[in-house]
Amino acid sequence: MATLIEKKIGEHRGVSRVYIEGLRLAREGFQPGMTYQRIIKAEEGKIVLRLIDSGDYVVSKKNIRDTELPVLDIRTEELTKIAGNSGRVRILIANKCIVILRHFNDEKIADRMLRMLNEVEQGKLSVASLFHGGGVASGGIHCGLKIAGISSKLAMAVEIEDAYIESSLRNNPDLWDENSVVINAGVEGVRYHQSGIPRVSLLESGIPCTGAASAGKAKLGLTFAEDHPTAGAAFFYTLQAIDFMNPCLIVIENVKNYAKTASASIIRSVLGNLGYSMQEILLKGEDFGALENRERWIMLATTIGLEEFIKLDDIYKFRSAPPAKIQEILESDVDNSRWKEYTYLREKEARDIAAGKGFRMQILNEESTSCPTLTRGYSRVRSTDPILSKNDGSDLLRLFTPAEHARLKTIPESVLDGLSETIAHQIAGQSVVYNWFVAIGRLIGDGLQSYQSTQSKQSAA
């Protein structure tokens, strides 16, 4: 038999204390009047109580309704050291022995903080990327960390689309090294204990937004974001990865509606229980040099203790102004064959207006000072997607090129090199404003450098 108890340590007359009573003790052999020895193994983070004849300590008793029950009242300052910041311990009772252990969350916190400090000292941070896409967000974080003086490499990336992961491997060579684990599969198919997945210091996850985005919910008639057949459970697999990989920092991004979903509430609750402090913010593209009117919800989860060094609101010190006009991001040598009348789009708009529908074309020109969001399906030429008019008084229109799409989101054009137009627009369209993640990387890098410096000074003192 065995009994496992989780307890918050208390205090009695200024001394740390753990109090246990009842059948939980009796069923494992601890009876009133029996004696035991106490062995403190501070370096291992545990206290061992073992029943022996003529031990230094006695199992006390308590009478409840004419029943005599055993009591253990353990008082020692070593409990404070074992319990750590959480103040919790785990107590295993079996085979006439009790072991008081540091809580597993405290073990995980200590492990990830030590890993992070070692990697910052070595100048190379390990990163994991879920729903990697073409590596835009990962590339931005890598760039920002580098500006802050910290190199980084992908320890692992998960992406289900062949073309996207191939593109990232080819076009983001700085992200990868010979030890990077590539998982070309859905996150639900990853078996972390069987796949040689490493622990990391930073995890980035662009959880699919199709269940939370207004258009996606309306199209499928979803009541809840979690009802989406493929994206609904994505948060669960993200939490599963976090629990195993035990990162020190976590960056999650999604559409702004995601912040109000049950998924986001569960993420907050689970990460809080795992010892993280959460910060959240809504970022706009125009604040970080993008002409595209994209907004995104960002959650930054830092291991408790780091939040004082990495404040998400400080991201605004890395603001940059976007180009003044659309003209400034246009390619100069676009093939004339791209210009078309798109009569069917204008006819559809007329039908929608006549039917009282709200669908309208979004026609821009060179003088436009911003651009609505270009999405993953942009290459399909849909009636409400942003489209550019020719600056000659004609009715000719064209889609933005992949290079222009990248510029609208501040994405380096090299990220889309060698791709078909369809795949290029998919990668850019489902991605993020690159400069957001450069700023996040810089913010994290500066904070980690400051934390590492503070720890070094304290150790020296």
Residue 55 DSSP SS3: coil
Tell the residue number behind the tokens 């990163």, with chain if given: 127
What pairing do the DSSP bridges indicate for beta strands 35-41 and 57-58?
A: antiparallel
Question: 418 forms bridges with which residues in the sheet?
Answer: none
Tell the residue number behind the tokens 């009636």, with chain if given: 383
**R_g of the chain, CA atoms, integer Å:** 28
Q: How far apart are CA 89 and CA 80, in angstroms?
A: 10
Q: How far apart are CA 126 and CA 176, in angstroms?
A: 11
Nearest residue to 298 via CA among 250, 262, 261:
250
Task: Tell me which of 143, 209, 248, 371 is the catalytic residue.
Answer: 209
Residue 169 DSSP SS3: helix
Q: How far apart are CA 453 and CA 150, in angstroms?
A: 14
Which residue type, as a one-letter code, is found at position 319?
A: R
Q: Is the dihedral of CA 154, 262, 274, 448 positive or negative?
A: positive
143 classed as catalytic: no
Q: How far apart are CA 434 and CA 432, in angstroms?
A: 6
Q: How far apart are CA 135 and CA 141, in angstroms?
A: 10
**Residue 418 vs residues 292, 379, 413: alpha-carbon distances, Å:** 24, 16, 11
Q: What is the DSSP string of 232-245?
A: TTHHHHHHHHHHHH
Alpha helices for 172-278 (secondary structure H): 214-220, 234-245, 262-273
* Contact between 210 and 222 (Cβ < 8 Å): no
Q: Which residues are catalytic?
A: 209
